[in-house]
């Protein structure tokens, strides 16, 4: 059977979202006995070595970015590093599916931020969908109610950081290799982990074989997720493949139940449903607007 570019891209995006979510689960499994920043540092070293090898294999190491792209790459790297700290802090202390549900707001926050900071046109329908989507996020985190924790706020902070990361990525020149951008992010996250470990006075421990295997698996999943995501977004139409990013929520639900005996309550599922529905509508409207421009 011959697959169209869009179907092949959709499969790649589903693969990438699954890989990213499995990475999250593996990090959560490895967390109990390892200091926080040590864990990020070890995984970061593994990812940096892997991405360096890929960039060398693809001949991207010799690329010389412009001053503007260097500045944007630095901004993106800082946002990636800060987002990683917030995300993993939340991940280690709350159900994986709940955190994944909060992250589904990304299409909404990126659309809103692009309108505010980049001047991209956003109609009233998408603005309304964004507002409703934020209501869904509020239902998930429930500020002021019994189910609310500070770790939900960390999840929202991770969304803000990743939104900044994606905005910086949008402004990068199309000629800069994705592998170079990803490698910079990996090195930045690793460096931040080293600094954080020193400032926090962590006492490192020797990981056992199981913990090293979990961290190595997480690093491999991140690299697989990265390469699949890049291939998917370059193979198919963005408007067609973007909704398949919500695969991560389904995978998070399954992994949360199987590995951690976690299942979101009814309010969280309601909020997640609202966020996903409004995100899908926002992506649909964006696709319609692009078609009209063409």
Tokens of 28: 């959560």
Do residues 156 and 141 lie in contact, with contact meaning Cβ atoms separated by under 8 Å?
A: yes
Tally of domains within the chain: 1
Q: Give, in order, the Cα–Cα distances in Å from 176 to each of 203, 231, 237, 251, 258.
A: 39, 15, 20, 32, 40
pLDDT in tens, the chain (294 residues): 566 777 888 888 899 999 999 999 999 999 988 999 999 999 999 999 999 998 999 899 999 989 999 999 999 999 999 999 999 999 999 999 999 999 989 888 888 888 888 787 778 888 888 899 999 999 998 876 666 789 999 999 999 999 998 888 888 888 888 888 889 999 999 999 999 999 999 999 999 999 999 999 999 998 888 888 877 766 776 667 777 888 999 999 999 999 999 999 999 999 999 999 998 888 777 767 666 655
Domain that holds residue 201: 5-293
Do residues 92 and 31 lie in contact, with contact meaning Cβ atoms separated by under 8 Å?
A: yes
State the alpha helices, DSSP H only, in the chain.
5-30, 36-57, 67-91, 96-103, 106-117, 124-141, 150-171, 178-200, 209-235, 238-241, 247-260, 266-293
Do residues 98 and 264 lie in contact, with contact meaning Cβ atoms separated by under 8 Å?
A: yes
* Distant-in-sequence, close-in-space partners of 279: CB < 8 Å, separation ≥ 6: 104, 105, 106, 107, 108, 133, 243, 246
- pTM summary value: 0.87
**Torsional class of 59: left (φ above 0), alpha (ψ -120 to 50), beta (otherwise):** left
Between CA 56 and CA 35 the distance in angstroms is 32
User: What is the number of alpha carbons within 13 Å of residue 161 lying toward its C-beta?
Assistant: 18
Instruction: Check residue 4 and give its pLDDT.
Output: 74
């Amino acid at each position: 059977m011959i697959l169209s570019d869009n179907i092949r891209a959709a499969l790649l995006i589903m693969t990438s979202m699954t890989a990213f979510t499995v990475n999250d689960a593996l990090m959560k499994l490895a967390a109990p006995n390892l200091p926080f920043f040590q864990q990020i540092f070890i995984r970061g070293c593994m990812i940096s070595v892997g991405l360096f090898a890929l960039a060398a294999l693809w001949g991207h190491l010799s690329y010389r970015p412009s001053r503007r792209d260097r500045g944007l790459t630095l901004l993106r790297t800082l946002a990636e590093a800060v987002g990683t700290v917030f995300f993993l802090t939340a991940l280690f202390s709350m159900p994986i599916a709940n955190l994944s549900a909060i992250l589904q707001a990304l299409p909404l926050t990126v659309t809103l931020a692009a309108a505010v900071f980049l001047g991209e046109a956003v109609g009233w329908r998408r603005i309304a969908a964004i507002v409703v989507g934020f209501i869904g996020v509020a239902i998930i985190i429930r500020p002021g109610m019994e189910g609310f924790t500070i770790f939900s706020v960390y999840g929202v902070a991770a969304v803000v950081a990743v939104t900044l990361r994606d905005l910086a990525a949008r402004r990068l020149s199309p000629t800069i290799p994705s592998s170079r951008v990803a490698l910079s992010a990996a090195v930045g996250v690793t460096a931040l982990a080293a600094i954080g470990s020193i400032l926090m006075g962590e006492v490192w421990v020797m990981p056992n074989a199981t913990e090293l295997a979990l961290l190595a698996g997480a690093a491999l999943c991140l690299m697989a997720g990265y390469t699949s995501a890049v291939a998917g977004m370059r193979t198919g139409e963005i408007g067609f493949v973007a909704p398949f990013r919500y695969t991560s929520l389904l995978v998070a639900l399954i992994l949360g139940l199987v590995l951690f005996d976690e299942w979101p309550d009814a309010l969280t599922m309601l909020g997640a449903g609202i966020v996903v529905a409004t995100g899908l509508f926002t992506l649909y409207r964006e696709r319609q607007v692009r078609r009209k421009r063409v």
